């Protein structure tokens, strides 16, 4: 039997065709849990422990410290780029004043409308209506708790 003469191109093609089934098998076996692991790991945001209402969680001091840290980082980046200086204290004050608080007037008005509508439904069913002001205060307190 005479030996088969193959060119370099034919040899590369045969090796590639022989490797394709192994590559498919390795991909299928290796990709089983890979999609579930996307975005997870020690550096992912989801892995960061969330505060559980501790002594400093959600306090105005903590919020101000976090805002100040972000504004100082922004000022540092501006200095590095050669842009104008940023007044950190003025920017922190502006951001804290502009941010809506938990006692936002629009939120209180919306909660008041919901309580009034609930009272109307209660009266139609023959039940005693709730005190609007105390119910609004209670609901706003619940929303504050959820936000912290």
**pLDDT value at position 42?**
72
Which range has the worst mean pLDDT, 25-34, 81-90, 92-101?
A: 92-101
Confidence of residue 142 (pLDDT cuts 50, 70, 90): confident
- Over 70: is that where the pLDDT of 50 sits? no
96 vs 75: CA distance, rounded Å: 17
Which tokens go with 51?
Answer: 């505060």
Question: What distance in Å separates the CA atoms of residue 67 and residue 103, rounded to the nearest whole number?
Answer: 20
pLDDT band at 55 (very low <50, low <70, confident <90, very high): very low
String of DSSP letters for 29-63: HHSTTHHHHTT-STTSGGGSPPP-S-SSTT-HHHH
Question: Domain segments of the chain: what residues?
Answer: 57-99, 102-148
pLDDT digits (tens, 9 = 90+) for 62-96: 888 888 999 999 999 999 999 888 898 888 888 77
d(CA 18, CA 10): 12
């Amino acid at each position: 039997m005479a030996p088969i003469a193959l060119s370099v191109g034919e040899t590369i093609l045969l090796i590639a065709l022989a490797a394709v089934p192994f590559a498919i098998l390795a991909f299928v076996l290796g990709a089983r849990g890979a999609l579930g692991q996307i975005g997870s790991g020690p550096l992912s945001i989801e892995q960061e422990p969330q505060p559980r209402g501790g002594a400093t969680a959600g306090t105005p001091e903590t919020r101000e410290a976090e805002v100040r840290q972000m504004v100082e980082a922004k000022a540092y980046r501006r200095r590095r780029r050669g842009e104008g200086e940023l007044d950190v204290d003025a920017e922190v004050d502006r951001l804290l004043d502009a941010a809506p608080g938990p006692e936002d007037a629009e939120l209180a008005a919306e909660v008041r409308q919901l309580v009034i509508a609930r009272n109307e439904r209660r009266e139609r069913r023959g039940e005693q209506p709730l005190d609007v002001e105390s119910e609004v205060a209670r609901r706003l307190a619940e929303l504050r708790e959820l936000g912290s």
